[in-house]
């Protein structure tokens, strides 16, 4: 009986160890470097968090923004990309489209359960969504460990270190009318870069202060 109890105990420990290993293996974030992720709303809320400097950058991409969708899908209005994502069964396509058009890496994404609210872009909104995701309400590619660490570290960000940019209120969107009369907005990349990119630099890369030279060796 003692040997059977020892065997059961060993199996339980191994099972628990494997479960913990799986949680850490699926983690997308190391907890030290800047992490960029996306919250799907009526439009989209891009979130960039720098843990070393404890600053948070929020970028609101409004409904009606025309984006180039990767993998050859062409151009779609922002709100139509979610439908395309579901139709093609390609989770993460929405985040890839934002990454492609903002020219900023997007590692994670979250989608709330039910209808997507408009969202105002605030630290409290992010914390609330992280709690919901930890409870299993919605979809995300983050692990539970990622969600917990993000909630704990973002919670410590002071109000003065939160920067909110609404693209609809900045001079970075160019209106255009489609052949069917629908009005869309295109992101003017140069204007976007000038106004926002300086807030998205990585402290580790700045500290390393390395330069890169790209040489074209083709004919």
In the predicted model, what is the mean pLDDT of residues 112-119? 59
Which pLDDT score, from 0 to 100, does residue 115 have? 46
Average pLDDT over residues 55-62: 93
For residue 114, CA distances in Å to 63, 101, 139, 219 come to 18, 26, 11, 54
**Range from 13-17, 29-33, 125-129 that averages highest in pLDDT:** 125-129
For residues 146 and 182, give the distance between their C-alpha atoms in angstroms, rounded to a whole number.
40
pTM: 0.80
CA–CA separation, 212 vs 184, rounded Å? 37
The conformation of residue 65, written as its DSSP 8-state character, comes to B
| Gap between the Cα atoms of 156 and 56, Å rounded | 10
Please name the residue ranges forming H helices in the chain.
2-25, 78-88, 93-102, 123-134, 144-155, 189-196, 203-208
How much of the chain exceeds pLDDT 90, in percent? Answer: 43
Instruction: Please tell me the predicted confidence (pLDDT) of residue 36.
Output: 94
**Average pLDDT estimate for 7-36:** 77
């Amino acid at each position: 009986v003692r040997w059977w109890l020892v065997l059961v105990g060993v199996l339980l420990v191994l099972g628990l160890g494997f479960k913990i290993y799986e949680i850490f293996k699926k983690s997308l974030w190391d907890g030290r470097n800047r992490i960029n992720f996306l919250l799907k709303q009526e439009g989209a809320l891009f979130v960039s968090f720098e843990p070393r400097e404890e600053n948070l950058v929020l970028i609101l991409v409004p409904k009606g923004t025309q984006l180039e969708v990767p993998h050859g899908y062409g151009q779609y209005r922002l709100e139509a990309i979610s439908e395309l994502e579901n139709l093609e069964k390609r989770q993460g396509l929405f985040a890839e489209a934002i990454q492609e058009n903002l020219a900023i890496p997007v590692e994670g994404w979250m989608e709330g359960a039910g209808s997507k609210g408009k969202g105002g872009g605030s630290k409290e909104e992010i914390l609330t969504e992280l709690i919901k995701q930890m409870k299993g309400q919605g979809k995300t590619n983050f692990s539970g460990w990622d969600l917990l660490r993000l909630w704990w570290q973002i919670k410590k960000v002071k109000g003065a270190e939160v920067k909110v940019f609404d693209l609809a209120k900045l001079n970075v969107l160019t209106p255009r009318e489609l052949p069917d009369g629908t009005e869309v907005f295109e992101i003017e990349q140069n204007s976007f870069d000038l106004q926002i990119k300086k807030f998205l630099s990585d402290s580790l890369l700045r500290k390393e202060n390395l330069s890169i030279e790209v040489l074209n060796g083709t004919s």
